[in-house]
């Protein structure tokens, strides 16, 4: 089964009456009916009044309409009926008054401009669900969208090859008069379809969610062809990136966008390939993508890179294949095209499986973050300042005061004077109350309690509590802003940094030696004695000097702890020899303290250097025997500073 959400009118003029009439009145002529002189009739009116009249005719059994048959009534107010062969279910008083009831409830919410919500559940052609299964499926979807007790009408249509049902629901809650939030409605309904398929034994249909291991739902993977065998073998046995994966990484997204936006052309494909050091040509009756520097050696089938790049698919829309422009021409219009990227066959393949797993984990964590925000919005209650009650208390107090004046002062002039005094005091108290309420509202507004927090503000608040998904989301926003502004990425080769994999997030560490400060872009600063000592930007950790050389050892140790909390895909220390040695020594100490290898550099030389420093300094310091000779010698220059040069005086 699958879900369809029909597009709405853009003028906001959707109508409960017309929608309910469409669902329940199926008296229009079919397009495949045979036209005869006897069957030529005036088409029925689709106005709201005419639809309402025909609904009444159905109920009151007038004219040629078949009577309404009540199938079953339920204690919760639902009723299942058959109207003109259409099986319907509603929780309104009756199908006749459903539209009017929905309109009256929707009128109670003046902020909801379009309270009509309509979606369709459709089954595959070879599936025949029972009415009970259809109505149960519709109610399940409404429950998951938070509209389980809203007014609705469900109608089953069997006039196509696929049995389907229409659900019309009022977004406005009949009890609280608040409009339901339809955020991510299509995704929620897709998950409902997978659950209902499994519950009733239907075949799994295409959609954005699929069942995975351990009976859990996962997002459906992209439906592209599998990797060609040659490309897979090259990467498995040589650990080198194939031309196929390079072309996919550089061009697949742009090709998809061009086709979606209808800007694709033969010239566009040639320019896109050329900008990435690739070529696009005809070969053996098809299309291939090749490396410009090795045109006769390295090539890949174009349809493997993107399914649309097939000659049989493109020529009906773009015409016969056109060759590339003359990139060697001196004319700016023809030859002014630069190559921005090139295929480097000697580059090693990155651990895609690990990156993919982390990416999926981040996506799941951010989906959960959004659901938690929706729960926060649903549970949020506006602070009640009891403005009306407080004004009434003041009015009642001074009304009682005037009553006391009426009985205590028999002199009319004196009584009138005291009335005016009481009225003046009432006006004074009312003015003071207004000022007090204004200050209370201002305080609530400044603290973010007067209105529900926006998603970004809520994420910032959650990040301050140490939520890893929230910190990751802040960094994701920062990366997106950098891409939009097309600014250069932070210098990843500063003199005192640890470099990690892209988007390699880690939780906030709470240590007694450092205070924590979180920025809006996801950057975490660790302060020691009020001075920033370590800066965690996700893909790099920068270590800053302390007040004195001997005072920054805690910064190095904290940086090693942060590195140990990351995935380990890439751990590389960038800096001079002294800096590298200090980081490696603190990493070795961390491994001994944790009794396992949590800090492991990925650079081969640094890994060997770490073993040397471990045997020379860390093992003796930890109380082990004299350092054993390491298989790797110290290959630094003679004039380079020694490891002992940075040790400060011991207390």
User: What six digits make up the tokens of 449?
Assistant: 């309690």
Same domain membership, residue 391 and residue 257:
no
- Whether the CB-CB separation of 505 and 362 falls below 8 Å is answered with yes
Q: Return the bridge partners of 170, or none.
A: 116
> Does 239 lie in the same domain as 206?
no
Q: Are 362 and 257 in contact (CB under 8 A)?
A: no
Note whether residue 565 is domain-resident: yes
User: In the prediction, which pLDDT does 423 show?
Assistant: 92
3-state SS, residue 309: coil
- Cβ 636 vs Cβ 539: under 8 Å: no
290 assigned to some structural domain = yes
pTM: 0.56
Q: Encoding tokens for residue 138?
A: 């519709």
What is the predicted pLDDT for the residue at 382? 85
The verdict on residue 547 lying in a domain is yes
Does residue 268 share a domain with residue 123? no
123 and 34 in a single domain? The answer is yes
Say whether both 211 and 244 belong to one domain.
no
Asked if residue 137 is part of any domain, the answer here is yes
Using alpha carbons, select from 153, 154, 147, 152 the residue that is nearest to residue 176: 147
Domain of residue 425, residue span: 387-446
Chain mean pLDDT for the chain: 81
Interatomic CA distance for residues 113 and 107, integer angstroms: 10
* Domain final position from 219, 245, 267: 219
Q: Domain for residue 95, yes or no? A: yes
Q: How many angstroms separate the Cα of 152 from the Cα of each of 120, 121, 187, 415?
A: 13, 15, 21, 63
Residue 471: both structure tokens together: 């910190």
In angstroms, the CA 81 to CA 66 distance is 12
**DSSP string computed for 469-531:** HHHHHHHHHHHHHHHHHTPPPP-TT-SSEEE--TT---PPP--TT-EEEE-TTS-EEEEETTE
Rounded to 5 degrees, φ, ψ at 38 are -75, -20
- Residues 407-423: tens digit of each pLDDT: 888 888 988 999 999 99
In angstroms, the CA 490 to CA 210 distance is 38
Could you read off the pLDDT of 192-242 as tens digits, one per residue?
999 999 999 999 998 889 998 788 888 887 655 566 666 655 565 555 678
Residue 476: pLDDT band (50, 70, 90) is: confident
Is 155 in contact with 164 (CB distance < 8 Å)?
Answer: no
Whether residues 56 and 193 fall in one domain = yes
| 261 within a domain of the structure (yes/no) | yes
C-beta neighbour count of 477 within 10 angstroms: 15
Distance between CA atoms of residues 446 and 432, nearest Å: 21
Same domain, 183 and 239: no
User: 243-260 and 266-275 are packed helices; what angle lies between their axes, rounded to 10 degrees?
Assistant: 140
Quick one: 547 and 429 in the same domain?
A: no
pLDDT in tens, 115-174: 989 999 999 999 999 999 999 999 999 999 999 999 999 999 998 899 999 999 999 999
Q: Provide the pLDDT for residue 189.
A: 96
Distance CA 52, CA 58 (A): 10
Question: Strands, E, within 519-604: which ranges?
Answer: 524-528, 531-536, 540-543, 572-574
Tell whether 168 is covered by a domain.
yes
Cα–Cα distance measured from residue 121 to residue 340, given in angstroms and rounded to the nearest whole number: 48
Q: State residue 165's pLDDT score.
A: 94
Identify the pLDDT of residue 122.
95
Tens of pLDDT, residue by residue over 40-90, are 455 555 555 455 455 444 433 344 445 678 899 999 999 999 987 889 999
The answer to whether the beta carbons of residues 248 and 226 sit under 8 Å apart is: no
215 & 234 share domain: no
pLDDT digits (tens, 9 = 90+) for 581-616: 999 999 999 988 888 888 989 988 998 999 889 888
Domain total in the chain: 4
Is 632:611 a contact under the CB 8 Å cutoff?
A: yes
Length of the chain: 651
- Alpha helices (runs of H) in 228-275, residue ranges in sequence order: 229-238, 243-260, 266-275
Q: 219: helix, coil or strand?
A: strand
Among candidate residues 257, 290, 208, the one with its CA nearest the CA of residue 3: 208
Residue 370 included in any domain:
no
316 is written with which tokens? 């009906």
Residue 130 burial (CB count, 10 A): 10
Q: Provide the pLDDT for residue 635.
A: 47
Per DSSP, 645 falls in state G
Same domain, 57 and 123: yes
pLDDT at 630 over 80: no
DSSP character at residue 35? P
CA distance linking residue 234 with residue 587, whole number of Å? 35
Single residue among 409, 427, 446 that ends a domain in this structure: 446
Residues 208 and 238 grouped into a single domain: no
The domain that holds 174 is classified in CATH as: 3.30.930
Q: What is the pLDDT of residue 587?
A: 92
Angstrom CA distances, 271 to 16, 45, 153, 248, 329, stand at 51, 55, 53, 16, 14
Higher pLDDT, 484 or 400: 400
**503 vs 536, more confident:** 536
For 192, the token pair is: 């409902």
Judge residue 194's burial from the number of C-beta atoms within 10 Å of its C-beta, 0-12 exposed, 13-18 middle, 19 or more buried. buried
In terms of phi and psi (left: phi > 0; alpha: psi -120 to 50; beta: otherwise), the region of 633 is beta
Of residues 644 and 377, the one with the higher pLDDT is 377
Could you tell me what percent of the chain has a pLDDT over 90?
33
Is the Cβ–Cβ distance between 94 and 59 less than 8 Å? yes
The predicted-structure confidence for 319-356, as pLDDT tens digits, reads as follows: 999 988 877 654 444 444 678 788 877 655 555 556 66
From 134, 208, 205, 126, select the one nearest 165 (Cα to Cα). Answer: 134
Q: Please check whether residues 8 and 110 belong to one and the same domain.
A: yes
pLDDT at 208: 87
């Amino acid at each position: 089964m699958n879900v369809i959400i029909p597009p709405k009118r853009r003028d906001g003029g959707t109508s409960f009456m017309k929608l309910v009439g469409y669902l329940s009145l199926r008296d229009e002529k079919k397009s495949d009916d045979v036209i005869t002189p006897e069957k030529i009739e005036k088409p029925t009116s689709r106005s709201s009044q005419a639809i309402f009249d025909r609904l009444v005719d159905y109920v009151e059994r007038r004219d040629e309409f078949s009577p309404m048959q009540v199938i079953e009534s339920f204690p919760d107010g639902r009723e299942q009926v058959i109207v003109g062969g259409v099986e319907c279910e509603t929780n309104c008083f009756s199908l006749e008054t459903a539209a009017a009831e929905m309109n009256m409830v929707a009128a109670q919410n003046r902020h909801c401009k379009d309270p009509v919500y309509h979606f369709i559940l459709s089954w595959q052609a070879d599936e025949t669900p029972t009415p009970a299964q259809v109505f149960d499926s519709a109610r399940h979807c409404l429950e998951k969208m938070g509209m389980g007790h809203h007014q609705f009408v469900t109608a089953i249509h069997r006039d196509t090859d696929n049995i389907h049902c229409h659900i019309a629901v009022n977004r406005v809650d009949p009890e609280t008069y608040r409009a339901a939030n339809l955020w991510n409605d299509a995704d929620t309904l897709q998950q409902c379809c997978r659950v209902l398929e499994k519950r009733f034994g239907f075949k799994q249909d295409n959609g954005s969610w699929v069942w995975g291991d351990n009976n859990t739902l996962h997002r459906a993977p992209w439906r592209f062809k599998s990797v060609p065998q040659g490309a897979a073998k090259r990467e498995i046995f040589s650990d080198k990136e194939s031309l196929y994966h390079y072309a996919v990484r550089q061009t697949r997204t742009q090709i998809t966008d061009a086709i979606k936006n209808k800007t694709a052309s033969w010239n566009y494909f040639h320019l896109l390939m050329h900008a990435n050091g690739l070529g696009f040509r005809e070969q053996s009756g098809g299309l291939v993508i090749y490396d410009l520097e090795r045109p006769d050696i390295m090539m890949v089938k174009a349809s493997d890179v993107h399914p649309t790049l097939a000659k049989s698919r493109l020529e009906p829309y773009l015409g016969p294949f056109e060759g590339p422009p003359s990139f060697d021409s001196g004319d700016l219009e023809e030859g002014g095209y630069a190559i921005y990227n090139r295929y480097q066959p000697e580059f090693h393949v990155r651990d895609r499986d690990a990156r993919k797993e982390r990416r999926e984990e981040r996506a799941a964590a951010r989906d959960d973050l959004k659901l938690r925000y929706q729960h926060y919005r649903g549970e949020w209650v506006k602070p009640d300042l009891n403005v009306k009650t407080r004004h009434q208390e003041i009015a009642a107090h001074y009304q009682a005061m005037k009553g006391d004046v009426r009985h205590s002062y028999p002199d009319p002039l004196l009584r009138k004077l005291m009335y005016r005094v009481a009225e003046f005091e009432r006006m004074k108290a009312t003015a003071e109350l207004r000022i007090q309420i204004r200050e209370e509202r201002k305080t609530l507004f400044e603290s973010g309690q007067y209105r529900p927090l926006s998603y970004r503000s809520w994420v910032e608040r959650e990040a301050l509590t140490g939520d890893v998904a929230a910190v990751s989301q802040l960094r994701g926003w920062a990366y997106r802003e950098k891409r939009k502004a097309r600014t250069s990425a932070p210098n990843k080769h500063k003199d005192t940094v640890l470099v990690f994999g892209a988007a390699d997030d880690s939780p906030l560490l709470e240590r007694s030696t450092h205070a924590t400060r979180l920025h809006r872009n996801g950057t975490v600063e660790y302060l020691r004695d009020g001075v920033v000592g370590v800066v965690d930007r996700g893909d790099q950790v920068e270590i800053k000097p302390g007040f004195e050389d001997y005072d920054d050892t805690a910064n190095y140790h904290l940086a090693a702890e942060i590195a140990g909390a990351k995935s380990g895909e890439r751990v590389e220390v960038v800096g001079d020899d002294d800096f590298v040695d200090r980081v490696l020594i603190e990493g070795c100490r961390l491994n001994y303290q944790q009794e396992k290898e949590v800090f492991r550099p990925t650079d081969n030389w640094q890994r060997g250097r770490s073993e040397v420093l471990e045997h020379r300094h860390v093992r003796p310091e930890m109380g082990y025997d004299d350092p054993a000779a390491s298989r790797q010698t110290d290959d630094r220059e003679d004039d380079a500073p020694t490891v002992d040069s940075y040790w400060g005086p011991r207390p």
